């Protein structure tokens, strides 16, 4: 299905309508047009993106269910490509710049409804960007080379550290109360 969708997005031609129709059924999208090559590209792009979100939600459900059987919990870290961080820091509305929203409101509400804890790193980027006197592109260039560069990895680690530490039990040795034994495997290893 994905290959068929990508072909339609790139060429404007549908090579397997059943694949596209199945994706449309999963997403529940309405009012799609597939008459012209431009309509095929645009509608298939919408279906492709919506399908990706639905697939991500289904994966989160399955992982959460599998971990629950093992008496483990799921914690989700939401990170973004540089284009999304740039777009958000610049404050451009979605309608002015066509950009795929990696973690739309629907996905975040899904995590909240399933009581899956998460950290959304874009809020940390926006907070830090507000302290700079540079434009959004210069800010993003500090941290991204198509993906996080070493400085970006460092930023992300510190953006999630406190919340992740609050969630962990037992806490990593460095963050434990000084009265606790510094080394111990209780809670990490069975028995």
pLDDT confidence band for 170 (50 / 70 / 90): confident
pLDDT at 187: 66
Average pLDDT over residues 7-15: 96
Average pLDDT over residues 119-125: 91
Average pLDDT over residues 81-96: 79
Least-confidence region, from 53-62, 122-131, 179-188: 179-188
pLDDT at 91: 85
pLDDT confidence band for 98 (50 / 70 / 90): low
pLDDT confidence band for 185 (50 / 70 / 90): low
pTM flag (> 0.85): no
Burial class (CB in 10 A: 0-12, 13-18, 19+), 70: exposed
Q: Which residues of 6-106 form beta strands (DSSP E)? A: 76-78
pLDDT at 104: 82
d(CA 96, CA 26): 28
- Whether residue 16 has pLDDT greater than 90: yes
Q: Count of residues for the chain?
A: 191
pLDDT at 172: 81
Q: Do residues 168 and 178 lie in contact, with contact meaning Cβ atoms separated by under 8 Å?
A: no
pLDDT confidence band for 191 (50 / 70 / 90): low
Least-confidence region, from 14-23, 63-72, 140-149, 170-179: 170-179
- Whether residue 182 has pLDDT greater than 70: no
* CA distances from residue 111 to 62, 67, 121, 157, 166 in whole angstroms, order as listed: 13, 15, 15, 21, 18
d(CA 55, CA 22): 13
Average pLDDT over residues 63-79: 95
Q: Comparing 135 with 101, which gets the higher pLDDT? A: 135
Q: What is the mean pLDDT of the chain?
A: 89
Judged by phi (left if over 0) then psi (alpha if -120 to 50, else beta), residue 104 lies in beta
């Amino acid at each position: 299905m994905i290959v068929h969708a990508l072909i339609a997005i790139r060429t404007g031609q549908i090579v397997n309508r059943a694949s596209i129709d199945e994706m449309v059924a999963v997403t529940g999208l309405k009012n799609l047009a597939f008459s012209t090559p431009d309509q095929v590209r645009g509608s298939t792009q919408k279906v492709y993106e919506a399908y990706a979100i639905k697939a991500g939600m289904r994966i989160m459900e399955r992982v959460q269910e599998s971990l629950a059987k093992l008496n483990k919990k799921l914690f989700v870290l939401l990170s973004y490509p540089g284009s999304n961080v740039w777009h958000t820091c610049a404050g451009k509305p979605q309608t002015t710049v066509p950009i795929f929203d990696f973690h739309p409101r629907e996905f975040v509400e899904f995590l909240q409804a399933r009581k899956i804890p998460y950290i959304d790193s874009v809020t940390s980027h926006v907070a830090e960007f507000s302290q700079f006197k540079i434009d959004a592109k210069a800010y993003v260039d500090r941290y991204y080379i198509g993906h996080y560069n070493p400085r970006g990895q460092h930023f992300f680690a510190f953006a999630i550290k406190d919340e992740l530490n609050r969630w962990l039990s037992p806490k990593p040795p460095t963050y434990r109360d000084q009265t606790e034994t510094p080394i111990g495997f209780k809670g990490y290893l069975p028995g």
